[in-house]
Chains A and B, each alone.
Chain A
Amino acid sequence: MTTEVLERPSGESAAEAALRIADCDIHPSPKLLEREIYPFLEKRWQRHMERYGARPRQPFLNGPAYPKGQPDAARRDAYPPAGGRPGSDLAFMREQHLDPNNVGFGVLNPLKSGQGLQNLDFADAYCRAINDWQIAFWTREEPRLKASIVIPYEDAAASVREIERCAGEEDYVQVFMLNRTAEPMGQRRYWPIYDAAAAAGLPLAVHAFGFGGAPITGSGWPSYYIEDMTGHAQSSQAVLTSMIFEGVFDRLPGLRMVLIESGFAWLPALCWRLDRVWMRMRDELHRCTRRPSEIVREQVFLTTQPMEEPGRPRQLVECIDWIGWDRLLFATDYPHWDFDQPDRVLPSWVDVEKRRAFFTDNALRVYGRQMP
């Protein structure tokens, strides 16, 4: 048995202090639905919300059946002094996160939207409202922040309409899905979405969580929140496997996919396994014409958080060496509890070039943006 004290760098280097970083996973919330979302939601859907609630494929009207480790899954210090949910107050977000952590480019990923709702018409209307809200309440006010096009992905036609409606607005930087879909994400019912994202030149972002309805393990529903959280990595592996084997990346060689909030250390082992399985059963995988690891090296990116934490940080760096330093996009997950603090995530001996790629350049390249 060998373990070591977690050796974390104690302070930030001068180079890092000067580095303006990209944060590719920030979660905004509306202060009040009535004030911020309803202006963008048709009257009948406002009434629907009041009478029937959101109703995703899960038991409770409000909140998950795996109660979080802390309220709103948030950092306890992220409640705005002026009131409201964590992530609902732009001024406080600037003060607590964007300014002190030197975030020059931040991607908003709204989690409470129409995604995964059982009623597809409501899902569509609610997604549209959330998209309009991001522009009106966030990106217009803060040029460092960019928006995601949230789509009612279980309805591909409605999703395509929404991508086409939003794609002309340059504050949207990606098409946004949750990873627990009703069927594995590579399946053809979702293909029109990927066609539309590729046509719009937008990366396809796939964030952990979701309400697909299938048990989150192949043996059924586990008991604990820690299993739910650990399980996001398994869901992301299944999503990536499906996208590769179904040939989505072969159909759309220009499509770029960003996997968000599932960590990344699982990727090398998955690629090794997929390469072997692909070699063995290529004749079954007729839509997948390239080696899976090659597809990943060309078309797949991952946000970093929640970063895995081996007892020896060197091992995580070796893992990134396997993945490639051009694949990872730094993310904090602000204001959530498993937030990663930028000056504490890489050992101090990682060189400046790699840090720059990891914290900034990879994101700007994927999203095709400059620091504002």
Chain B
Amino acid sequence: MSRHVVAPVSEFPPGTRRCVVLEGRRIALFNVGGRYFGLLDRCPHQGGPLSEGVLTGLVEAGAPGDYSFSRPGEILRCPWHGWEFDLATGESRFDPRRHRTRAFRVSAKPAEELRAETVPVRVEEDYVVVET
């Protein structure tokens, strides 16, 4: 596992997203209400750029007409064919086991923890870190 510092927390506020290239892979990063998520920026279906997808919630129904809406902002729909992915796991909604994109751990770390990294960091800031 390697860790990649992508930005100071202050530059990656809630409600924003960005794309980074790490080890040759494009990764889509999201800050949803202070929680960070990362997905490979490539839909396993036809390669659509997930970073351009809309963030929505989970629509379910125990019975026809009985809609429920939960987890707002945590489901990503591919900008092309609308496949839904769980931001936390990369699993597709329609077939979580067989159709998924890779999810990456993304978190905020204090600068002290990152001293060993090659990226220069300022002690007074926390940083968003992606683990690959």
A76-B79 in contact given A5-B98, A6-B99, A70-B54 (Cβ < 8 Å): yes
Contacts of B45 in A (CB 8 A): 6, 8, 344
How many chain-A residues does the 8 Å CB contact rule pick out? Answer: 17
Closest-CB distance, B68 to chain A (whole angstroms): 18
Q: How far is the CA of A339 from the CA of B45 in the complex (A)?
A: 12
> Are A341 and B46 in contact, with the CB atoms below 8 A?
yes
Q: In the complex, what's the smallest C-beta–C-beta distance from B46 to chain A, in angstroms?
A: 4
Q: How many residues of B contact A (CB 8 A)?
A: 16
Mark interface residues in A129-164 (1 if CB within 8 Å of B CB, else 0): 000000000000000000000000000000000000
A77 contacts B49, CB within 8 Å?
A: yes
- Scan residues 18-64 of chain A and give those whose CB is less than 8 A from a CB of chain B: none
Q: What are the nearest 10 A-B pairs in CB distance?
A: A76-B79, A77-B52, A341-B46, A344-B46, A77-B79, A5-B98, A69-B82, A75-B80, A76-B52, A75-B79
Beta-carbon contacts under 8 Å, B40-59 to A:
44-49, 52-54
Whether A340 lies near B53 (C-beta < 8 A) is no
Contact A70 B47, CB 8 Å, known A6-B99, A77-B52: no
Judging by beta carbons under 8 Å apart, are A339 and B82 in contact? no
C-alpha spacing A340/B82, complex, angstroms: 13
Q: Is the contact region of chain A dominated by helix, strand, or loop, or is it mixed?
A: loop
Q: 18 extra interchain contacts, Cβ-Cβ under 8 A, other than A75-B79, A77-B52?
A: A5-B98, A5-B99, A6-B44, A69-B82, A70-B82, A75-B80, A76-B52, A76-B53, A76-B54, A76-B79, A76-B80, A77-B48, A77-B49, A339-B81, A340-B46, A341-B47, A344-B45, A345-B46
By a CB distance below 8 angstroms, the chain B residues around A5 are 98-99
Residue pairs across A and B with Cβ atoms less than 8 A apart, 29 shown, are: A3-B98, A5-B98, A5-B99, A6-B44, A6-B45, A6-B99, A8-B46, A69-B82, A70-B82, A75-B48, A75-B79, A75-B80, A76-B52, A76-B53, A76-B54, A76-B79, A76-B80, A77-B49, A77-B79, A337-B80, A337-B82, A338-B80, A339-B46, A339-B80, A341-B46, A341-B48, A344-B46, A344-B47, A345-B46
